Chains A and B, each alone.
Chain A
Amino acid sequence: MTLDTYYLGIDVGSVSTNLVVIDTNDKIIEKLYLKTSGQPIKVLCEGLKLLGDHLGRNVNICGVGATGSGRQLAAVITGADIIKNEITAHAVAAQRIVPDVRTILEIGGQDSKIIFLKNGIICDFAMNTVCAAGTGSFLDRQAARLGIPIEEFGGYALRSKSPVRIAGRCAVFAESDMIHKQQAGHSLEDIICGLCEGLVRNYLNNLAKGKDISEPVMFQGGVAANVGIVAAFKKALQKDIIIPKYYDVMGAYGAALIAKQKTKEKTQKNSTKFRGFKSAEDNYEAKSIECNGCSNMCEVVEISSNGNAIARWGDRCGKWAFSI
């Protein structure tokens, strides 16, 4: 019996941990979107277990890619073949869906990016630098404060007749501005719509910085689910915005695509370093060590599995990282 060939992509972000399994035709056959909840290791293991159960243990994973801010961690636990930054991963995924995409707007939990492509390659990108205003977490928080489920947040914005102006530059200022407008008696709809517009304004000023946003424009990341933000983007850009079907797991999809391409390049088959779905059953522990070897006093992170150290990073000199 020949097994089907699949590739796994993992995106460990600050808010969500996503896993995607694709087949040889780049089709997504499994997708998981889990909340990281500050416990990336636990959530990742749960995700792997779920996938393993669903696909059956004998499935043939030929390559694994890891991305996101927790990519190193994910790579150590699963034995990934490639570790790529989020920017490249998102661009690869977007390009697979719309080959001639020119601009990618991506808003995640803690960061937002804009990626420009020209002739099929990334020609410029920007990532939020000094403030997390305008990212998913901030919207989450405001929704919770107003007592509205985040899923309905965007709907309120669409019902607004005359949006108020909310400062979008800083999360704290935006919040106090909102509270002030609330006290002044504006409707919830108008305030939420104003907030969406403020955030989009901030995003465009902070990241796009007057650069040319040419079509096709694609919008991905968790916040793409928010119809209020999408409408605000359409209004600000006066352009059509494409939202891919799997907008929330595009990073993981990109990682899987990269893993597929990389492992294909290798001549030997089955050269993947993937440790199998079983790896989810091991115990993982992370601890931090303050190294006093020199004045840098690096904070070294050590990941151990069942009591054995399997990876260390964070030291400037390599004394710890290379000792495994």
Chain B
Amino acid sequence: MNQEKIVFLIAILLFCAFSLFLNGFTSAGNLLTLVRGVSTLGILGVGMAILIIGRGIDLAIVAIYAMSVGWTLHLANGGISVPLAMLIGYLFALSAGVVNGVLIAYVEVPALFATLGMASFVYGFARYALVPLYVVYMPESASGIAWIGSGFAFGVPVPILLFALVSLLGFAFLRFTKPGRFIYAMGDNFAAARMSGAPVRPMIILQYAISATIAYLAGLVTATAVASMNTNIASSSMIYDVILVVVLGGIGLSGGRGGVRNVVVGTLLIGILLNGMTIMDIQYTLQDVIRSLVLLIAIVIDSIVNPRDEQTAQQGDI
């Protein structure tokens, strides 16, 4: 009985309970809304999972997600062609990710602090120099990419399909490629991975580049779904939700174990919880409290299921 199974069980119980007691919960429309509502979170979760499995973390993922796409829309509004604006926005996201990677891999700044500082910097810099408005609306010219967030394919919303695609790619990357196996090795025992010849420093940069790419993709999904990007979300509690789906799904923060399946399970539980609370009309702030408590419980369970190993726990491993 590991954490993934526990969480999955709770999700099923919650699902059954909501189906019984909440009107319209089981309708096909609501279920699609449920999954679609958390697909952005799930996509970001896959990026975060790739990092956490390698014993890293990216607290800048939400800032990159909001500010890079915000800048893309702002540039498109300013008359630049959409593909070019997307390229520039993506390069901004990628460079933030690569700088994170360099700081962590070569300067040896702990990942927590590097990405925390980077989150503040990306938000502050974009707000100061690139994106003057809090809410950037999607321009007419960008209607060609609106299908990403609001389109349907085979009767299923595209965001859900994208979530599935990213999960599949993430799964294949982690399971079948050499870099994927290196990530597990680094998360399990960084020093051993390094000594046995894994190119750990380039790998760290690759990881943060992947997470920045995924953040940009998730940002596009959000922006095209609601035809705007609210850049204020960068300083919201969304980053904790991303960590929540990963930790909740059973990926230990000590790294080296777990997979994309855990992210899917964690995302489903959060989706059901949020959807149910919204139907029950629970106030948004109270939902925040409940989510925080759920995360707290998840961390406690995580530390009980995956106790910290005194042998490998390093100095400054906070």
Answer yes or no: are A and B bound together in one complex.
Answer: no
B positions within 8 Å CB-CB of A: none
A interface with B by C-beta (< 8 Å): none
